[in-house]
Amino acid sequence: MAAEGEQRGRRWLTVAALGAILAVAAALRFAALARAPLWWDEGNNAYFAQATLPELLRMSRLTLDTDPPAHRLALKVWLWLTGDGALQLRAFSALCGVLGVGLVAVWGRGLYGRRTGLVAAGMAAIWPAFVYYSREGKPYALIVLCACLSVYLWQRYLDQAVTMRWWAWLGAVACAALALGAHYYVALFMAAQGLGLAIALIMERPGRELALQRLGRWLSVQVTAVALVAPWVALTFDTALQGAAILPEVSAQRSLWEYGAKLAVGLVAGPWGSRWMALAAAALLSLAALVEVVGGRRRPTTWFLVTLALAPPALGFIAQQLVPFVQARFFLFIVPPLAILAAAGLARLGRKGLPLAAALAVVWGLALPGALGALEGADGDLRPVAQALEDLAVPGDGVVVGQVWQEGILRMLSPDLPVDYHLGWYREDDAERELLALLGQHPRLWLLTYQSALQHPANTPGWWLEHETARAHIFDLPPYTLTLYTDPAHVDIAGTVGVSTAEAGPQVIFESGVALLESFVPQTVAAGEVLSLVLDWKATEADLADWKVFVHLVDASGQLRAQSDGAPENGLRPFASFEEGEVVEDQRALAIPADTPPGHYLV
């Protein structure tokens, strides 16, 4: 009875310890998850998660996207369940990260015992790179969970089982397909698993029949998973290669030392960790793992984990000679086997391993603030843009964006915004037709530009809208510009007060040869909307001065409520450029503040 009670107490202690570890893992991954701005990679995933499968395929090819669709499809289901939002987008990765820590505990316990499982889970919980990539709306935490769960299911329930367990086989196939379908570098992990099995078979010498059975079960899982992903590969292989070739930092690492150092810094200390942190943590991890490798050198399990941890980066060095784009995060799936190996070494040392574990905890503790800090968003923060749209956009507005990631981020930041998004990839020969069609759908059209001047010919939609429509709002939100346009020249003017002077002569003749021929002004406009008007100017003399136009909306007391000032045609046609006798149509738009009281106003 005493032994049974002791065993029960140990079991509850294990559960409590694992619960505490998972709580720490969750706190590190979920804390202030939406604090940092979403960046373009996350925006891409948000955009594709909103698309149907045919649209996802079409846009993946069109944008030369390099990622397969499994993570986007899983994210689509997740967002359908939880709703859109920056927090929800990242919470999927955070949840996968916490589940990954739990998997490390179960896997480590199954291979080496309770203590190793808990220590390995504790290491995975605070591993800076694993924490960092569990806080992004990207696929790496899902890859870690699925790739390692597939190996665990195969190793625990299929490899040496007397009878085939089909539920485990289906689970291993599904997980391998999800992992490979989220990132192609998982193929290196699958190859490492096969190499580890070959080493185990050589060490164990189980007999030809059993060896073929184990090899066949492993192959059946991998081949089926690859077959599930192969159609997507066949449909997108050419465009994915083109996309990989134009990505930043695509030069191959010719030096093995340079390549290894890059991976060590990114994987051990995280993307924000310093080189000394990475070197210190790598040395401590290697020392702990070496204790297990030396002490358990006759154990096939140990060499299997060594192969899982070391073979993918080695194969990656070869692969990047062919496709030179490689990053440390691509190999995040080696964190669990590394953690289990190091934990097994610490468990083998017993109390002598406490200083080693404490030193590793200190180094990672210093690196964790970087893993919890702002995620790098070199393309700028779109939150001010989203706020401006929330303040001023009205139902039926259209928003033209330059990149799919901009739409994806805006949808996550403002999921209830009553606007329609359009991708502004226009050629010079079709810009007018496409934009006129959009203005037919949306009398108010917003244009979001990124690091591009509105009136530069290379900015095709901006160039056309600036020349052909009226600008109502412009917000300079570096590196973005958000502009609202209306099209007074192409709307129904039945509801306007029109003054035509074709027979009577000009309405107004200003000094120095400027005449206002006619104008069309709406009779009514609601607060928060845009008052659009058209002014036709004529030069009656040559060499006009560089006058400016001031269009003001004033109330009965003379207080200014809205204005549109500047040279005609959004500043593109100053009066000094007019030829004598030339008539220029000047489209104007006044944005009426939402708090403007009803009443009679004068333009």
Q: What is the 3-state secondary structure of 49-101?
A: HCCCHHHHHHHHHHCCCCCCCHHHHHHHHHHHHHCCCHHHHHHHHHHHHHHHH
Domain membership of residue 559 (yes or no) is: yes
Token pair for residue 179? Answer: 């992992």
Enumerate the β-bridge partners of residue 590: 531
Q: What is the pLDDT of residue 531?
A: 86
504 and 478 housed in the same domain: no
Question: Residue 136: pLDDT above 80?
Answer: yes
Question: Residue 162: pLDDT above 80?
Answer: yes
447 and 347 housed in the same domain: no
Tell me if residue 527 falls in helix, strand or coil: coil
Q: What is the pLDDT of residue 304?
A: 95
Domain membership of residue 45 (yes or no) is: yes
- Boundary-marking domain end, from 342, 372, 402: 372
Position with higher pLDDT, 487 vs 127: 127
Domain membership of residue 340 (yes or no) is: yes
∠ Cα 205 209 214 (to 5°): 75
What digits encode the pLDDT tens for the residues 475-532?
Answer: 999 899 999 999 876 544 333 433 333 334 467 888 778 888 877 777 788 888 888 8
Q: What is the pLDDT of residue 489?
A: 61
- For residue 266, what are the CA distances in angstroms to 136, 142, 330, 398, 475? 15, 18, 10, 41, 38
- Boundary-marking domain end, from 453, 484, 515: 484
Q: What is the pLDDT of residue 506?
A: 63
Using alpha carbons only, how large is the chain's radius of gyration in Å?
A: 32
575 and 547 housed in the same domain: yes
- Stated as kind and residue range, the H or E segment containing 519 is strand 514-522
171 and 218 housed in the same domain: yes
Tell me if residue 452 falls in helix, strand or coil: coil
Identify whether the C-beta of residue 548 lies closer than 8 Å to the C-beta of residue 567.
yes
429 and 343 housed in the same domain: no
d(Cα 116, Cα 57) in Å, to the nearest integer?
44
412 and 506 housed in the same domain: no
The reported pTM is 0.90
Count of structural domains within the chain: 3
Domain membership of residue 93 (yes or no) is: yes
Position with higher pLDDT, 217 vs 162: 217
506 and 574 housed in the same domain: yes
Enumerate the β-bridge partners of residue 589: 532
318 and 428 housed in the same domain: no
How long a stretch of residues is the chain? 603
- Stated as kind and residue range, the H or E segment containing 13 is helix 2-30
Q: What is the pLDDT of residue 167?
A: 95
Q: What is the pLDDT of residue 212?
A: 93
Which string of b and e fits 267-294 if b means at least 16 CB within 10 Å? bbbbbbbeeebbbbbbebbbbbbebbbe
Nearest alpha-carbon partner for 139 in 214, 45, 60: 45
- Helical H runs in 323-453? 335-349, 354-372, 383-392, 404-413, 431-441
289 and 431 housed in the same domain: no
Question: Residue 270: pLDDT above 90?
Answer: no
Q: What is the pLDDT of residue 587?
A: 87
Weakest-pLDDT range from 46-60, 509-523, 576-590:
509-523
175 and 230 housed in the same domain: yes
394 and 366 housed in the same domain: no
Which string of b and e fits 387-426 if b means at least 16 CB within 10 Å? ebbeebbeeebbbbbbbbbbbbbbbbbbeebebebbbbeb
What digits encode the pLDDT tens for the residues 70-123?
Answer: 999 999 999 999 999 999 999 999 999 999 999 999 999 999 999 999 999 999
- Boundary-marking domain end, from 454, 484, 514: 484
Instruction: Return phi, psi of residue 284, to 5°.
Output: -65, -45
Q: Which domain, by its residues, includes 273?
A: 25-372
Question: Residue 66: pLDDT above 60?
Answer: yes
